[in-house]
Amino acid sequence: MTQLDLDERRSTEPPAKLGRPLDVTRDADILDAALDVLAEEGFDGMTIDMVAARAKAGKATLYRRWPSKTELVIDAVACMKNSDLNFEDLPDTGTLRGDLVAMIKPPTIRDAEKKLRVMAGLISLIARNPELAEAARVAVIAPRAEINRTFLQRAIDRGEISPDVDIAMVSNISPSMVTYRTMMLAKPVDREFLISLIDKIILPSVGLGAAA
């Protein structure tokens, strides 16, 4: 069951005729709590009681809305999609380097780090749960590369870089190295690291080595 399914379910029972209506904002609170616990404990370390306590809800309430722990987590991951970056207001500075540097903002970095912590808690499951894997890919993994793809395509269109650049490969450099640095090396992803990444790896790979 996905968030969309829930919305649908509710739209078929119009504005709720009698008694207290199902509160949609309650769903969001619970999903947020689930993400917090997930980031701190991982999937197996997370218990339904933890989530209920964090959301100040009863365990029964969670089971009234989601049929199982797994479905709750899938839904939580799917709803993690656009917590920070809106695709509409991406920077457009006129240069590839300008666009990439403009993405380095503390809130964006924090958002990415939380998502990575959630991902870390899920990875061992992803190999065995295709539905969860799909939710994670759509919500977390794809958007990061998509933004880079957009920047690169713009740069090609304006003639800044060669159209022969392997966009698929280059757009994954930053997600790969940020993820590895966080999850494997446990080192901070700070502005200095990201600037180095742009100037020493990404720009040279598109032929903007010294010209930038």
Give the pair of three-digit tokens for residue 8. Answer: 């649908």
| 45 touches a copy of itself by CB under 8 A | yes
Is the CB of residue 100 less than 8 Å from the CB of residue 202? yes
For residue 22, the 8-state DSSP code is P
Tell me the three state secondary structure of residue 39. helix
Of the candidates 30, 31, 43, 72, which one interacts with a copy of itself according to CB under 8 A?
43
Of the candidates 103, 122, 155, 194, which one interacts with a copy of itself according to CB under 8 A?
122
Stretch that binds a copy of itself, among 18-26, 49-57, 99-107, 170-178 (CB under 8 A): 170-178
| 69 touches DNA by CB under 7 A | yes
Q: How far apart are alpha carbons 45 and 55 in whole angstroms?
A: 17
Least CB distance to DNA at residue 122 (A) = 14
Of the candidates 12, 14, 19, 186, which one interacts with DNA according to CB under 7 A?
19
Residue 56 contact partner, candidates DNA, a copy of itself, none, CB within 5 to 8 A by sort of partner: DNA
Of the pair 58, 94, the CB lying nearest DNA is at: 58
What Cα–Cα distance (Å) separates residue 176 from each residue in 51, 61, 133, 144, 180? 30, 38, 17, 10, 6
